[in-house]
Amino acid sequence: MVASILASGLAVGAVYALIGLTYNTMFSASRVMSFTAGQLGMLGGVFGSLFVLRLGLPMIAGFFLTLVCCAIVGIVTEIVAVRPVLKNLDQHLYVLSTLALALMIQQVTAIEWSTEPQPFPRILGIGSGGIGDEKFWLPIVSCAAAIAGLELLYRHTLVGRAFLAIAEDNFAARALGLPERNLRIASFALAGMIGALAGFSGGALLLAFVANGALLNFYGFVPVALGGLGNNRGAIVGGFALGVFQQAANFWIGGIFSSVAVFVLFIIVLLAAPQGLFGSHAARRV
């Protein structure tokens, strides 16, 4: 019982953590919380099932095409829903613009794909049931690969350091001649690929289901709020903790009350630490 709760909780938590990384990656270069992150995770599952099962492409080709398609969706998000808002004095309009785009993506997917859960192909074919099944450990491996890749990018490449400079102070970075717009587009493309990885690696667990978009939007935002906005390590810890807590609540309480338990925990943590468990107080000159 405990082993099954941990296995499913860590797997689901890894998907939530990857969506949290998607939020943070978009936020770091734009200071905008784009609520299309969950839709990118949903599209990762839908595109994966489309390319591999319906079109019969090899798994590797289907995976890379899924990454490319979600990267394009991320770029479209920056152009359509983020860039116009950044030019406006009231930049909090991004809540409406990104939510509107998220709803459009969900409706188009529902029309063109299906409103019912669709099967997702087995990726590696390792394990046929129980806690050793790939659907439980593959999201965890993907999450570890994503955070390791981001650490290498940010700390050992010039592009990654430019990302960090934009995230730290975009005005100073612009003054130094860094191409802020190009870096912002690249960050949204990268976020699209991370979201695709979440949906693809968690496809066997969550299936290719259009309703996953709204679910991942919320449950992916919770680790960001718990861990601290922009803190990738906090999002990872928050995602795994949320996944285990949710699965334990599903087992012990069940039904809608498990969601209520998640809300209660979320509110309690934010009341105790409004900046998140791993976040820091923002300082500004006056």
Q: What is the pLDDT of residues 182-218, one digit of tens each?
A: 888 999 999 999 999 999 999 989 999 999 999 999 8
Residue 52 pLDDT class (50, 70, 90 cuts): very high
Give dist(CA 24, CA 76) in Å, integer.
18
Whether 281 maps to a domain, the answer reads no
Q: Reduce the DSSP state of residue 118 to 3 states and report it.
A: strand
Q: How far apart, in whole angstroms, are the C-alpha atoms of residue 243 and residue 13?
A: 4
Mean pLDDT for 134-163 is 90
Determine, yes or no, domain membership for 284: no
- The domain tally of the chain equals 1
**What is the reported pLDDT for 17?**
95
In this predicted model, what pLDDT tens digit does every residue of 70-82 receive, in sequence order? Answer: 999 999 999 999 8
pLDDT tops 80 at residue 256: no
For residues 229, 233, 238, 244, the Cα torsion angle rounded to the nearest 10 degrees is 160
Q: Model-level pTM greater than 0.85?
A: yes
Domain assignment present for 283: no
CATH code, domain carrying 140? 1.10.3470
Residue 24 within a domain: yes
- 3-state secondary structure (DSSP) of residue 76: helix
Structural domain harbouring 27:
2-272
Distance of CA 35 to the CA centre of its chain: 10
CB atoms within 10 A of CB 38: 27
245 Cα distance to chain centroid: 19
Q: 201 near 70, Cβ under 8 Å?
A: no
